C-alpha cells in the first residue's frame, strides 16, 4: 500500500493560503492558514518558522483540512479556533455570542480613564455576551464590581466560563433584561455594546456577521431600538453624576447625542475609534433636581 503523501508545514501553509485567497478572497489568508494549521497540529506558531520542513502526519493533515473547509465556507476564525483576544485577555468564544471587536476596547479604555481606579465602584455591562467588556474592566480595575448582564442563558454560560478560567473574581453574572433587576440609584457606571445594526443593513449578509447571533447585532429599522430602551433604565439605576458609555454605529453619533440630550443627560461626548469613526458616546446622569417651591 502506498504511503499517503507527507507534506511539510511550509507547504501546508502555502497551499492553504492560496486556497483561502483564491476561493474566499480572505485578505489575511496567510495568517489564517498559519493559525488553523497550528490549531490542527497542536503546534506553537513559532514552529512554522523554526522547523518549516517538519511534516504533518495523516491525522494532522485531515484535521487541518477540516478546519480549512470551515473557513472556506466563511465561518469566523474566532468560532473555529474558539478564542479571541480582547484588551488584555484571551476569551473563549462560541457560536451564540458576538465576537469581540477591537473597536470595542475603546469602551474599556474610556471607563478606566475617567472613573476613579481605587474606589469600590458598582458597574454594569449590558448584553455582555462572552463577557469581554465586563471581564476586561474587572481585570484592569480589581476594586470595582462588574455586573455582567445577559438575557441569553447560553451566552451567559460562555461569560461564566471565561470568568472562571481567567480567575476574575470581581464580576457577577446576572441573567436579565438590561437593567430591569437593578435598584434605583445603585450604580456608578453603565457600559454597553448593544445591538445597533439596522435590520435591513446589507452588511448582515457579509463576512462574520452571517454567523453571529442576530439578537446581538440588530436593533429595529434604525438600529437604535436597544439604545432607546437602555437610556431611561440607565437614568433610573445610575446615581446622580453616574456615567453611561455606549458603543454605536459609526453613523449614529449625532442621533445618539440627540437622544441623550432630549432625555436630559449632561456632559455628552462622542469618541472615535482607531479608524477615526464615531464609535462610542458617553454622558453623565444629571444631578438630582432640587424640589421647587
Ligand atoms: N460593530 C458590529 C458590526 O457592525 C456590530 C456590533 C453591535 O451591533 N453591537 O460589525
Cα–ligand 1 centroid distance for 277 (angstroms): 13
Decide if 86 is inside a domain.
Answer: no
Residue among 274, 91, 218 at smallest CA distance from 209? 218
Do 220 and 131 share a domain, yes or no?
yes
Ligand 1 atom nearest 247 alpha carbon: 9
Decide if 134 is inside a domain.
Answer: yes
Cα–ligand 1 centroid distance for 247 (angstroms): 9
Do 167 and 211 share a domain, yes or no?
yes
CATH, residue 182: 3.40.50.150
Do 122 and 236 share a domain, yes or no?
yes
Atom 2 in ligand 1: residue holding the nearest Cα: 217
Do 69 and 102 share a domain, yes or no?
no
Decide if 84 is inside a domain.
Answer: no
Ligand 1 atom nearest 193 alpha carbon: 9
Do 260 and 196 share a domain, yes or no?
yes
Residues at CB less than 6 angstroms from ligand 1: 101, 193, 195-197, 209, 217
Amino acid 288: pLDDT: 74
Do 118 and 258 share a domain, yes or no?
yes
Decide if 85 is inside a domain.
Answer: no
Decide if 88 is inside a domain.
Answer: no
Per-residue cell: 73 = 465556507
Amino acid 158: pLDDT: 98
pLDDT tens for the chain, 293 residues long, are: 455 678 999 999 999 999 999 987 777 999 999 999 999 999 999 999 999 999 999 999 999 999 999 999 999 999 999 999 999 999 999 999 999 999 999 999 999 999 999 999 999 999 999 999 999 999 999 999 999 999 999 999 999 999 999 999 999 999 999 999 999 999 999 999 999 999 999 999 999 999 999 999 999 999 999 999 999 999 999 999 999 999 999 999 999 999 999 999 999 999 999 999 999 999 999 887 665 65
Cα–ligand 1 centroid distance for 42 (angstroms): 32
> Which of 196, 206, 248 should be mutated for ligand 1, with most atoms under 8 A from CB?
196
Per-residue cell: 92 = 473563549
Range of the domain at 68: 9-74
Ligand 1 atom nearest 98 alpha carbon: 6
Cβ atoms 221, 200 nearer than 8 A: yes
Residue among 81, 96, 101 at smallest CA distance from 150? 96
Do 102 and 244 share a domain, yes or no?
yes
- At CA 209, angle to CA 68 and CA 41, rounded to 5? 20
Amino acid 291: pLDDT: 58
Amino acid 289: pLDDT: 63
Cβ atoms 246, 279 nearer than 8 A: no
Decide if 149 is inside a domain.
Answer: yes
Do 54 and 173 share a domain, yes or no?
no
Do 212 and 265 share a domain, yes or no?
yes
Number of domain units in the chain: 2
Amino acid 293: pLDDT: 57
Amino acid 188: pLDDT: 98
Do 113 and 182 share a domain, yes or no?
yes
**In a 3-state reduction of DSSP, which class is residue 148?**
strand
Decide if 87 is inside a domain.
Answer: no
Ligand 1 atom nearest 195 alpha carbon: 8
Cα–ligand 1 centroid distance for 136 (angstroms): 18
Ligand 1 atom nearest 127 alpha carbon: 9
Q: Which residues contact 270 (CB under 8 A, 6 or more apart)?
A: 253, 256, 257, 278, 280, 281, 282
Do 27 and 109 share a domain, yes or no?
no
Do 213 and 138 share a domain, yes or no?
yes
Residue among 272, 190, 201 at smallest CA distance from 239? 190
Per-residue cell: 4 = 499517503
Cα–ligand 1 centroid distance for 159 (angstroms): 18
Amino acid at each position: 500500500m502506498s504511503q499517503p503523501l507527507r507534506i511539510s508545514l511550509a507547504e501546508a501553509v502555502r497551499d492553504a493560503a492560496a486556497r483561502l485567497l483564491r476561493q474566499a478572497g480572505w485578505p489575511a489568508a496567510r495568517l489564517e492558514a498559519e493559525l488553523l494549521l497550528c490549531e490542527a497540529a497542536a503546534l506553537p506558531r513559532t514552529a512554522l518558522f523554526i522547523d518549516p520542513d517538519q511534516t504533518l502526519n495523516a491525522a494532522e493533515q485531515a484535521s487541518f483540512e477540516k478546519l480549512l473547509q470551515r473557513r472556506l465556507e466563511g465561518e469566523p476564525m474566532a468560532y473555529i479556533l474558539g478564542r479571541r483576544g480582547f484588551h488584555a485577555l484571551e476569551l473563549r468564544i462560541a457560536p451564540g455570542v458576538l465576537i469581540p471587536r477591537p473597536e470595542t476596547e475603546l469602551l474599556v479604555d474610556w471607563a478606566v480613564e475617567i472613573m476613579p481606579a481605587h474606589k469600590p465602584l458598582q458597574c454594569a455591562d449590558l448584553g455582555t455576551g462572552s463577557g469581554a467588556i465586563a471581564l476586561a474592566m474587572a481585570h484592569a480595575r480589581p476594586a470595582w464590581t462588574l455586573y455582567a448582564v445577559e438575557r441569553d442563558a447560553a451566552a451567559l454560560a460562555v461569560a461564566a466560563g471565561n470568568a472562571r478560567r481567567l480567575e476574575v473574581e470581581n464580576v457577577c453574572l446576572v441573567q436579565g433584561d438590561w437593567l430591569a433587576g437593578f435598584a434605583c440609584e445603585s450604580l456608578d457606571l453603565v457600559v454597553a455594546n448593544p445591538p445597533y445594526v439596522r435590520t435591513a443593513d446589507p452588511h448582515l449578509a457579509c463576512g462574520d456577521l452571517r454567523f453571529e447571533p442576530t439578537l446581538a447585532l440588530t436593533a429595529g429599522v434604525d438600529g437604535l431600538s436597544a439604545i432607546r430602551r437602555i437610556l431611561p433604565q440607565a437614568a433610573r439605576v445610575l446615581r446622580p453624576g453616574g456615567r453611561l458609555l455606549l458603543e454605536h454605529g459609526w453613523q449614529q453619533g449625532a442621533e445618539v447625542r440627540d437622544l441623550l440630550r432630549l432625555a436630559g443627560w449632561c456632559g455628552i461626548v462622542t469618541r472615535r475609534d482607531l479608524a477615526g469613526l464615531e464609535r462610542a458616546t458617553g454622558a453623565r446622569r444629571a444631578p438630582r433636581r432640587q424640589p421647587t417651591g
